[in-house]
A and B are shown apart, each in its own frame.
Chain A
Amino acid sequence: DTEVTQTPKHLVMGMTNKKSLKCEQHMGHRAMYWYKQKAKKPPELMFVYSYEKLSINESVPSRFSPECPNSSLLNLHLHALQPEDSALYLCASSQVLGQPQHFGDGTRLSIL
């Protein structure tokens, strides 16, 4: 069982919907990450949080909005997504920046 929990596991939404992806870890890790992975492509880094502060934003469109309300939780708010945003969204955490990352199972997102 993974120690990083992502919900929901699957999400289907229309382009006008607003939804959120949730990631939770209770390992005391202070760095958390969002990745996007399309089929047969490598995971691509989107955002990095360190001590609840946004550390890296990889020029992600504003229709993706991350939030880190506390050290255990990382959210990704979605609004007005496009069909090309359909992908697997992976969350990861590490003790601090630069340490090995522990991944969740991912949320498979489909945009209609």
Chain B
Amino acid sequence: ILNVEQSPQSLHVQEGDSTNFTCSFPSSNFYALHWYRWETAKSPEALFVMTLNGDEKKKGRISATLNTKEGYSYLYIKGSQPEDSATYLCASRAGFSGGYNKLIFGAGTRLAVHP
């Protein structure tokens, strides 16, 4: 059974601060790791899909790294802005039959950026 953990559960930062949070997933049978941003009253928005160990993706001020051997991914936000306030979800896909097509989500990190 896949178990995806995210930490911290909640994070409050000041505008301009840089921040990061963690997604942990089982490293065995790993296939892909997805990051989503979910703003209140909106739909989850895909940020990154990562598959290779050591992969690093960047989108504006947001970047993510992946370590498939130890089973974790970090999401970094540089110079946080109030509009970055959202819940950040990660989801893992496994490479075994029956797991390949399923996203198993973590509970998310709720980020609040204060002006």
Residue numbers of A with Cβ under 8 A of B are 2, 4, 31, 40-45, 48, 50, 55-56, 90, 97-98, 100-106
In the bound complex, do residue A42 and residue B102 qualify as a contact, i.e. CB atoms below 8 Å apart? no
In the bound complex, do residue B89 and residue A97 qualify as a contact, i.e. CB atoms below 8 Å apart? no
Complex contacts, A101 vs chain B, CB 8 Å: 34, 46, 103
A105–B106 CA distance with the chains assembled, in angstroms: 19
From residue B23, how far is it (CB to closest CB) to chain A in Å? 11
Query: With A56-B98, A56-B102, A101-B103 given, can you name 13 additional A-B contacts, CB distance below 8 Å?
Result: A31-B101, A40-B107, A43-B89, A44-B105, A55-B101, A90-B43, A90-B44, A98-B93, A98-B100, A100-B46, A102-B46, A105-B43, A106-B43
Q: A100-B34, A102-B46 are in contact. Are A45 and B107 (CB under 8 A)?
A: no
Complex contacts, A50 vs chain B, CB 8 Å: 101
In the bound complex, do residue A42 and residue B101 qualify as a contact, i.e. CB atoms below 8 Å apart? no
In the bound complex, do residue B101 and residue A48 qualify as a contact, i.e. CB atoms below 8 Å apart? yes
Complex contacts, A103 vs chain B, CB 8 Å: 36, 43-45
In the bound complex, do residue B101 and residue A56 qualify as a contact, i.e. CB atoms below 8 Å apart? yes
Measured CB to CB, the nearest residue on chain B to A58 is B102
A61–B53 CA distance with the chains assembled, in angstroms: 38
Identify the interface centre among A2, A90, A101: most chain B CB within 10 Å of its CB.
A101
From residue A33, how far is it (CB to closest CB) to chain B in Å? 8
Complex contacts, A106 vs chain B, CB 8 Å: 43
